[in-house]
Amino acid sequence: MRFVEQWLATTIAIALVIFFVPTIRTVGNTYAAVIFTALVLALVNISIKPLLQILALPLTILTLGLFSLFVNAFALEIASTITQGIFQVGIIVPDFGTAMWAALLISIFSWFLDMLIQ
């Protein structure tokens, strides 16, 4: 049940990011793009992101945690690429700077929505 709640919060957060960041576009049906991107992002966060965090731990310590934003942006880029490749729907993140802003906003919106759900 917790996974469904987090997936719902992430789906709403991605929809808000698409609305607030004009350079992020959707491919295919907008609703399907948001839903599948949130699902793949959740799977990337479960599977690949812990490995990336371990590999990036020295840089994260040196930058006092700011490098974790790069890890989140990279996870978003991976999720975007996988979603477009498998489902032919998803979001297009044009560059890594946009991915960093989007990852930061997704984190903030997801945290806030998770607080509302609890």
62: left (phi over 0), alpha (psi -120 to 50) or beta: alpha
Reference 66, options 109, 116, 114, 104; nearest CA is 104
Reference 83, options 50, 52, 43; nearest CA is 43
DSSP per-residue letters across 74-110? HHHHHHHHHHHHHHS-EEE--SHHHHHHHHHHHHHHH
Q: How confident is the model at residue 118 (pLDDT cuts 50, 70, 90)?
A: confident
* Helices and strands (H, E) in the chain, number of each type: 6, 2
Reference 91, options 102, 107, 105, 104; nearest CA is 102
In this predicted model, what pLDDT tens digit does every residue of 20-68 receive, in sequence order? Answer: 999 999 998 889 999 999 999 999 999 999 999 999 999 999 999 999 9
Query: What was the pLDDT predicted at 2?
Result: 81
Non-local CB neighbours of 45 within 8 Å, separated by 6+ positions: 75
59: left (phi over 0), alpha (psi -120 to 50) or beta: alpha
